[in-house]
Amino acid sequence: MKTRISILILGMVLLYSCNTTVPTPVPVNTYVQSVTINGIQLASGGSAFMLPIDSVVIRVTFSSNIDRSKIDPNKIYISNGVDTSFTLLHETDKNILSFRIKKTLNYYTSYTLNIANSEVLGVKIIDPYQYIFVTKMDPTPKFPVISDDSLLTLVQKQTFKYFWDYAHPVSGLARERLGSGETVTFGGSGFGIMGIPVAIQRGFITRAQGLDQMNKILNFLSLSTTDKFHGAFPHWMNGSTGKVIPFGTQDNGADLVETAFFMEGLLTVQSYFKNGNAAEQAMCTKIETLWENVEWTWFQQGGQQKLFWHWSPNYGWAINMQIGGWDEALIIYVLAASSPTHPITKSVYDNGWAMNGAIKNGKQFYGITLPLGSDYGGPLFFAHYSFLGLNPTHLIDQYANYWTQNTAHAKINYNYCVANPHKNYGYGANCWGLTASDIQNSYTASSPTNDVGVIAPTAALSSFPYTPVESMQALHFFYYTLGDKMWGDYGFKDAFNLNTHWFATSYLAIDQGPIVAMIENYRTGLLWNLFMQNTQVQAGLTKLGFTY
């Protein structure tokens, strides 16, 4: 009896087993906890830069254990032509997927790791993820390697062409930028004519050619039809007619800062030719006339103890912008004090420019003390424009040692780019320099406190006197690594953003001019020596309390 019951029960069990389907296991819901690419941890949508082309390792940590044998290359894959054959790497933790990309990648190319929200690795990934990585630049030199001395000469020669080959054909003045047609600029022209003594000394042009070009410029500016405002020039002018081109609605008259940059150039050229033949001395007399005609004291706006930037025949002092505090404008007060006809007093310098000592900083950035100005120094052109002629090497007054100031400014800018707090692609010891320049679809004064990811070659190259080693490293990168992305008919183009693969096609006079001048000051001190030998400038500096 017991045997029959057992057989019956066994039969029922077998019958039940044959008619029952075992349910399929439901995959565990999983999310990505972290991703590293070559040790760089990324959030979804984040980017890793400067990766090698032949050794990219990706490590994904999931919130639960996975089955690495069930990797699906249609659900975990890399965009931009990377094949799906990865080398899986051993991991002791069961929730980690590690693999190396087998394919050699392209230089300076963006790739995206995609992880789909789907069933894969034996789990169900509940959200999609994307992680971007960009490979490093091709380090192969794009041009033949030459000596550093030859490279500096090449940069000066090619950059000078902007002011020589592309000068306005009627006035001889510098066009504001490539493609600006009739628009010439006085600040940029002042920087450009400082390149004429350099070009003569280095054999780019003859002395006679330099004299002819200066006479073309000076004869144009001496015409009664050329706009001048109390001896000062506008920011922009029509290079054919001599009529002002407004820089803004109310900025249609004198620009004292642009005028000072132009006069800095004229006085430097005057020193170069002053002991020459009769024709050269006659040209120097024309410079003296323009210099004496500038009514610097007019720009005190009725005798105030400060200078003002603009004056308009239509709007008067409506802009009302004081020139003061540390920026690019020290040369304005120096020239105003040096004027043989309309000189300012020392009190205008102290109250207007130095703001009774409020110009001082004294804080440290990256271990470097900054004597003057805003934190981190501001854009690097502050250390360039006034000092194309004004020699900071031994320049000291009650407010600062100006060699210390400018060197600190340049090194802070460099150290900021090396630290690269915003993780911009390429920033580092070989790629640095924040200053005013074109940016994508606009223009800005870049600095450590206004960093939009754009490097301008003029920043590092015009800092050669202050940072010769760091500037040479940057020059090598701009010329050999970036190559024809940045190098063209008139030297280095204005700027670039390696984050977005943007390279400017523009050239700007105010950025090209300081490159020629400051490289020469680094090499020979030529322009510093010429400008500083002017006895009126020496008297002005002494009046303001400078030693030099």
In this predicted model, which residue has the larger pLDDT, 26 or 106?
Answer: 106
Q: Tell me: do 424 and 497 sit in the same domain.
A: yes
- State pLDDT tens for residues 482-524: 999 999 999 999 999 999 999 999 999 999 999 999 999 999 9
Do 319 and 363 contact (CB within 8 A), yes or no? no
Is the pLDDT at 377 greater than 60, yes or no? yes
In this predicted model, which residue has the larger pLDDT, 86 or 273?
Answer: 273
Shortest CA distance to 30 belongs to which of 118, 130, 131? 118
In this predicted model, which residue has the larger pLDDT, 27 or 167?
Answer: 167
- What is the rounded CA–CA span in Å between residue 159 and residue 510? 12
151 burial level (CB within 10 Å; 0-12, 13-18, 19+):
middle
Work out the percent of the chain whose per-residue pLDDT is above 90. 93
What pLDDT, on a 0 to 100 scale, did the predictor assign at position 82?
A: 86
pLDDT band at 5 (very low <50, low <70, confident <90, very high): very low
Question: Domain for residue 71, yes or no?
Answer: yes
What pLDDT, on a 0 to 100 scale, did the predictor assign at position 185?
A: 98
Domain edge (last residue) among 316, 350, 384: 350
What pLDDT, on a 0 to 100 scale, did the predictor assign at position 83?
A: 78
Average pLDDT of span 9-37? 70
Q: What is the largest CA-CA distance in the chain?
A: 142
* 29 strand-pairing partners: 124
Average pLDDT of span 40-45? 94
Is the pLDDT at 4 greater than 90, yes or no? no
- What is the rounded CA–CA span in Å between residue 513 and residue 189? 8
Sign of the dihedral defined by the CA atoms of residues 274, 276, 277, 279, in that order: negative
Do 397 and 527 contact (CB within 8 A), yes or no? no
Do 233 and 244 contact (CB within 8 A), yes or no? no
pLDDT band at 26 (very low <50, low <70, confident <90, very high): confident
Q: Which two tokens stand for residue 282?
A: 């006659």
pLDDT band at 21 (very low <50, low <70, confident <90, very high): low
Site of tokens 């940069």? 155
Q: Tell me: do 342 and 400 sit in the same domain.
A: no
Query: What does the DSSP 8-state code read for residue 240?
Result: T
* Cα torsion through 83, 87, 88, 90, rounded to 10: -160
pLDDT band at 16 (very low <50, low <70, confident <90, very high): very low
Q: Tell me: do 506 and 444 sit in the same domain.
A: yes
pTM for the model: 0.93
Is the pLDDT at 402 greater than 80, yes or no? yes
Is the pLDDT at 183 greater than 90, yes or no? yes
Question: Domain for residue 16, yes or no?
Answer: no
- What is the rounded CA–CA span in Å between residue 38 and residue 54? 12
Question: Domain for residue 10, yes or no?
Answer: no
What pLDDT, on a 0 to 100 scale, did the predictor assign at position 20?
A: 54
* 78 strand-pairing partners: 113
- What is the rounded CA–CA span in Å between residue 338 and residue 334? 6
Which residues fall within 8 angstroms of residue 451, CB to CB, at 6 or more apart? 416, 422, 424, 434
Question: Domain for residue 105, yes or no?
Answer: yes
Question: Domain for residue 247, yes or no?
Answer: yes
Q: Tell me: do 200 and 294 sit in the same domain.
A: yes
- Provide the pairing of β-strand 310-311 with 254-255: antiparallel
What pLDDT, on a 0 to 100 scale, did the predictor assign at position 531?
A: 98
* Domain span at 469: 144-166+360-531+544-548
Question: Domain for residue 258, yes or no?
Answer: yes
Q: Tell me: do 189 and 308 sit in the same domain.
A: yes
Q: Tell me: do 366 and 484 sit in the same domain.
A: yes
* 89 strand-pairing partners: 98
What pLDDT, on a 0 to 100 scale, did the predictor assign at position 327?
A: 97
What pLDDT, on a 0 to 100 scale, did the predictor assign at position 25?
A: 74
Q: Tell me: do 224 and 242 sit in the same domain.
A: yes
Domain edge (last residue) among 328, 350, 372: 350
- What is the rounded CA–CA span in Å between residue 330 and residue 321? 15
CATH number at residue 70: 2.60.40.3710
- What is the rounded CA–CA span in Å between residue 102 and residue 114? 17
- What is the rounded CA–CA span in Å between residue 326 and residue 361? 10
Question: Domain for residue 373, yes or no?
Answer: yes
Domain edge (last residue) among 293, 322, 350: 350
Question: Domain for residue 18, yes or no?
Answer: no
User: How many Å separate Cα 106 from the centre of its chain?
Assistant: 27
What pLDDT, on a 0 to 100 scale, did the predictor assign at position 9?
A: 46
Total domains in the fold of the chain: 3
Which residues fall within 8 angstroms of residue 189, CB to CB, at 6 or more apart? 163, 173, 174, 217, 262, 265, 509
Which residues fall within 8 angstroms of residue 269, CB to CB, at 6 or more apart? 193, 194, 196, 197, 214, 287, 530
Query: What does the DSSP 8-state code read for residue 7?
Result: H
Average pLDDT of span 27-52? 95
Q: Tell me: do 187 and 122 sit in the same domain.
A: no
End-to-end CA distance of the chain: 124
Work out the percent of the chain whose per-residue pLDDT is above 70. 96
Q: Tell me: do 233 and 191 sit in the same domain.
A: yes
- State pLDDT tens for residues 422-474: 999 999 999 999 999 999 999 999 999 999 999 999 999 999 999 999 999 99
What pLDDT, on a 0 to 100 scale, did the predictor assign at position 80?
A: 86
Q: Tell me: do 337 and 374 sit in the same domain.
A: no
| Residue 522, H or E segment | helix 509-523
Do 269 and 393 contact (CB within 8 A), yes or no? no
Q: Tell me: do 459 and 344 sit in the same domain.
A: no
pLDDT band at 81 (very low <50, low <70, confident <90, very high): confident
CATH number at residue 213: 1.50.10.140
What pLDDT, on a 0 to 100 scale, did the predictor assign at position 24?
A: 66
Q: Tell me: do 196 and 341 sit in the same domain.
A: yes
What is the chain's mean pLDDT, rounded?
Answer: 95
